[in-house]
């Protein structure tokens, strides 16, 4: 009797357990609140002989000469210095939203010449520009490289990870802020990270239940319009409360994502397959060359010649056939493929064939 009561109580708790919910902040982005990409061209100096070879990267020498002229150092036109301790690099950074002058951001440095390594280098002062051409930050600092490379005089080399690119933590200082429309009056628009009509409707419903009917209105499957106060300070607090609401997102669509380059296949839980029979086999073609020597008879007028001899063999290995019943789920697909010993590349071919036959009820995305 106690066991039955315990089982009944556990079932009631399971039924009463709330469904999985996410915060609104994890599902949306506020319109007008965005980051911006910055880029610049600079020089890294102080390298231990691993910089650009100026004979193949003349722009490095030109950049150094231009820099020296700004400091009053004149380089004769006939001089062609061979500088192995400097490298020309591109400097990129992401300017976060609401960044103010004086704040520090990280930058990424990458060689554009033939430098072998940027380890131990120092990035010289580099202006970072936005898409409009204006300077928004200035970068300078020591480059941190996560890779190691070494090369001997005989030409042999050893390399671990990438050493011709690195980062400068907090290496750029913001000089100009990007104007934002967030402080302006009017409605706030929440853009969904993954457009879905169900999720948009549920977000608007949750906001209306918390703050009154008509507060939020779904515009389409990708955005929700929310009434906001005119005062910027009140808009910040208002948006913070909205982002803390719990919303159960819509069920993800059935989708199969295939990376044909690496053989990676990701199958969502809602993928279904209609009744279908699949025959899987691999064809192996072997071509072997065994040249033969043709030797003429003694005292003959012939010449020794090499006669090509080719052998071609075609073999079909691992031929298997399996059948999917109607409504097969993800677990059955994976087990069937594993039983026949198919590789990820074979699984890609099977999924593409099922999609062409109309038996795969899911979106097939190849990247």
CATH of domain 16-33+180-251: 3.40.190.10
Q: List pLDDT tens digits, range 52-108.
A: 776 667 787 778 878 888 888 887 777 666 678 888 899 999 999 989 999 999 999
Burial readout 105-121 (b: 16 or more C-beta within 10 A, e: otherwise): bebbbbbebbbbbbbeb
CB 320 within 8 A of CB 281: yes
CB 234 within 8 A of CB 38: no
Closest C-alpha to 35, from 103, 117, 110, 94:
94
Closest C-alpha to 40, from 112, 113, 93:
93
Q: How much is the pLDDT for 82?
A: 67
Question: Model's pTM, two decimal places?
Answer: 0.66
d(CA 234, CA 231): 5
d(CA 278, CA 286): 26
The conformation of residue 51, written as its DSSP 8-state character, comes to S
Q: How much is the pLDDT for 167?
A: 92
Helix (H) or strand (E) holding 5: helix 2-16
Burial readout 167-203 (b: 16 or more C-beta within 10 A, e: otherwise): bbeebbebeeebeeebeeeeebbbbbeeebeebbebb
Domains of the chain by residue range:
16-33+180-251, 36-147+161-174, 255-284+316-366
Q: How much is the pLDDT for 120?
A: 86
Collapse the DSSP code of 177 into the 3-class scheme (helix H, G, I; strand E, B; otherwise coil) and give the result.
coil
> Residue for token digits 């910055």?
38
Closest C-alpha to 29, from 202, 253, 224:
224
Collapse the DSSP code of 60 into the 3-class scheme (helix H, G, I; strand E, B; otherwise coil) and give the result.
helix
Q: How much is the pLDDT for 320?
A: 60
Strand pairing category for 360-361 and 272-273: antiparallel
The conformation of residue 205, written as its DSSP 8-state character, comes to H
Q: Which residues of the chain have a pLDDT value below 50? A: 1-18
Q: How much is the pLDDT for 2?
A: 37
């Amino acid at each position: 009797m106690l066991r039955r009561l315990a089982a009944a109580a556990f079932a009631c708790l399971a039924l009463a357990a709330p469904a999985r919910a996410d915060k609104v902040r994890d599902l949306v982005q506020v319109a007008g609140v965005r980051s911006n990409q910055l880029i610049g061209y600079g020089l890294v100096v102080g390298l231990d002989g691993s910089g650009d070879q100026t004979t193949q990267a003349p722009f490095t020498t030109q950049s150094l000469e231009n820099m020296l002229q700004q400091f009053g150092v004149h380089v004769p036109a006939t001089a062609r210095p061979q500088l192995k301790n400097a490298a020309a690099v591109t400097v990129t950074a992401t300017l976060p939203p609401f960044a103010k002058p004086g704040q520090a951001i990280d930058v990424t440095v990458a060689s554009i010449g033939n430098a072998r390594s940027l380890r131990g280098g120092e990035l010289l002062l580099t202006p970072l520009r936005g898409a409009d051409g204006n300077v928004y930050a200035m970068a300078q600092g020591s480059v941190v490289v996560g890779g190691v490379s070494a090369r001997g005089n005989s030409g042999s080399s050893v390399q671990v990870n990438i050493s011709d690119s690195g980062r400068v933590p907090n290496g750029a200082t913001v000089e100009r802020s990007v104007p934002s429309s967030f402080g302006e009056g009017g409605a706030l628009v929440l853009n969904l990270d993954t457009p879905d009509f169900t999720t948009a409707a549920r977000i608007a419903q949750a906001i209306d239940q918390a703050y009154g009917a008509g507060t939020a209105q779904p515009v389409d499957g990708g955005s929700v319009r929310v009434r906001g106060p005119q005062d910027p300070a009140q808009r910040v607090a208002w948006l913070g409360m909205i982002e803390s609401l719990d919303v159960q997102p819509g069920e993800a669509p059935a989708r199969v994502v295939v990376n044909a380059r690496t053989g990676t296949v990701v199958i969502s839980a809602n993928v279904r397959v209609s009744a279908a029979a699949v025959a899987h086999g691999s064809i192996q073609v072997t071509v072997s060359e065994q040249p033969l020597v043709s030797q003429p008879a003694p005292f003959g007028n012939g010449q020794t010649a090499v006669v090509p001899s080719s052998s071609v063999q075609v073999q079909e290995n691992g031929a298997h056939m399996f059948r999917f019943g109607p409504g097969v789920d993800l677990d059955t697909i994976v087990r069937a493929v594993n039983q026949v010993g198919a590789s990820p590349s074979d699984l890609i071919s099977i999924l593409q064939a099922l999609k062409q036959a109309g038996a795969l009820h899911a979106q097939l995305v190849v990247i």
